[in-house]
Structure formats: structure tokens, C-alpha cells
């Protein structure tokens, strides 16, 4: 067997196995849909070796690491509360905003294309708020003119609602006619 396969096999053997046959890890950071900081979780080997361990989100659940987390649990909880306050103030700021996106539409109000998360992120950037596209939760692309309430997922416990107006594009001839 090549050396790299032996090394990988030894790595798998060193990681503690859980009751279900997965790998037991101690979460260093909160991981959405998995657990909170300090939780001991059991995950599949691929998830542990390809995501959690390389990203620094978890570590091997040894007695030493458990003691360290217990020792710092209060400090970690305080830091998490500070982050939550920050996320909530950001959510309030986003909820106060109302953005307008121009799009080409026919006479019935149906858009020729659609408005997606990237368009909303760009419009928010225009008013000075930066939000990653993956935090914008749409039920589907916006395909009609009108007012929409879009959910912005900032944290596992904090969501904001943003008002998005989709209006028809005003052509140069229509602008000249208005003047």
C-alpha cells in the first residue's frame, strides 16, 4: 500500500469512534444544523476529515479538550452573547431598509428575467450594507413586479426581514416624456 494511504488509514484509526460508528468530535465553534460550541457530536468520517477538522470548527474529543472547554465555557458564552447583540443590531438595521430593484417587465407585470439573491445583495451594497448571497433566503426567484419581504439569515438565532420593491425599468424615452 502507498505511504499516503497508510497515513490516512492511521489517521482514521486514531480518531475516537462513537456509538453509531461515526467519529466523536468536540465543537470549537457553533456549526449550524450540528451543534453549539462545546458540544460533543458524532459525525461521519468524511465530514470530520474534509470539513470540520480542516476548517478548525472541531477537534478530537479528548478529556483534556473537554476540561479546557469547561474551564472557558463562561467566557465563550459571554463572547457568544456579544456576537448575538451585534447580529441583532445588524438585523434591526437591515429591517429598517427598503430597497428598490428595477427590472424589465411586460405589461402584465411579469419580469423577462428574474430577481435573485445576487441582485438583492448588490442593491444592499448600494445602501452600504454588505450581506453574502448565501444569507439571503428566497422562496424562489422573484418573477413579478411588486413588494416582497425577503428573509436575511444572519445567525442561527437571528433573522432579518428586508422589504424589496421590484419596479419596471424606466426607459430613456419615458424619462424624456416625464420632463
CATH of the domain at 134: 3.10.430.100
- Kindly state the average pLDDT of the residues 110-117: 92
- Model confidence band, residue 179 (pLDDT cutoffs 50, 70, 90): low
What is the enclosing helix (H) or strand (E) of 153? strand 146-155
Q: How many domains does the chain have?
A: 2
On the question of pLDDT at 39 being above 90, the answer is no
The domain in which residue 50 lies consists of 3-61
| pLDDT tops 90 at residue 13 | no
Contact 131/94 with Cβ under 8 angstroms? yes
The 10s digit of each residue's pLDDT in 123-143 is 999 999 999 999 999 988 899
Contact 101, 126 (CB under 8 A): no
- Answer yes or no: is 147 within a domain: yes
Q: Are 148 and 166 in contact (CB under 8 A)?
A: yes
**Residue 61 near residue 25 (C-beta atoms within 8 A):** yes
Provide the phi-psi class of 45: left if phi over 0, else alpha when psi is between -120 and 50, else beta. alpha
Average pLDDT estimate for 57-74: 81
Do 118 and 160 lie in one domain? The reply is yes
- Contact by Cβ (8 Å): 53, 26: no
79 lies in some domain? no
**Do 54 and 95 fall within a single domain?**
no
Could you read off the pLDDT of 145-164 as tens digits, one per residue? Answer: 999 999 999 888 899 999 99
Q: pTM for the complete prediction?
A: 0.65
Residues 32 and 100 reside in one and the same domain? no
Residue 71 counted as domain residue: no
pLDDT at 173: 55
Task: For residue 160, tell me if it sits in a domain.
Answer: yes
Amino acid at each position: 500500500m502507498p505511504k499516503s494511504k497508510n497515513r490516512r488509514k492511521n489517521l482514521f484509526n486514531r480518531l475516537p469512534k462513537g456509538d453509531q460508528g461515526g467519529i466523536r468530535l468536540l465543537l470549537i465553534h457553533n456549526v449550524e444544523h450540528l451543534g453549539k460550541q462545546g458540544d460533543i457530536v458524532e459525525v461521519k468520517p468524511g465530514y470530520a476529515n474534509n470539513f470540520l477538522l480542516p476548517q478548525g470548527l472541531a477537534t478530537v474529543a479528548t478529556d483534556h479538550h473537554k476540561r479546557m472547554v469547561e474551564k472557558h465555557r463562561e467566557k465563550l458564552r459571554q463572547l457568544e452573547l456579544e456576537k448575538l447583540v451585534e447580529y441583532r443590531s445588524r438585523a434591526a438595521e437591515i429591517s429598517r431598509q427598503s430597497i428598490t430593484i428595477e427590472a424589465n417587465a411586460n405589461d402584465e407585470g411579469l419580469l423577462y428575467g428574474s430577481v435573485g439573491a445576487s441582485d438583492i445583495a448588490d442593491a444592499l451594497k448600494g445602501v452600504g450594507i454588505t450581506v453574502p448571497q448565501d444569507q439571503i433566503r428566497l422562496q424562489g426567484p422573484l418573477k413579478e413586479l411588486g413588494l416582497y419581504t425577503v428573509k436575511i439569515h444572519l445567525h442561527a438565532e437571528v433573522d432579518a426581514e428586508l422589504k424589496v420593491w421590484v419596479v419596471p425599468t424606466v426607459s430613456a424615452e419615458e424619462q424624456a416624456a416625464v420632463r
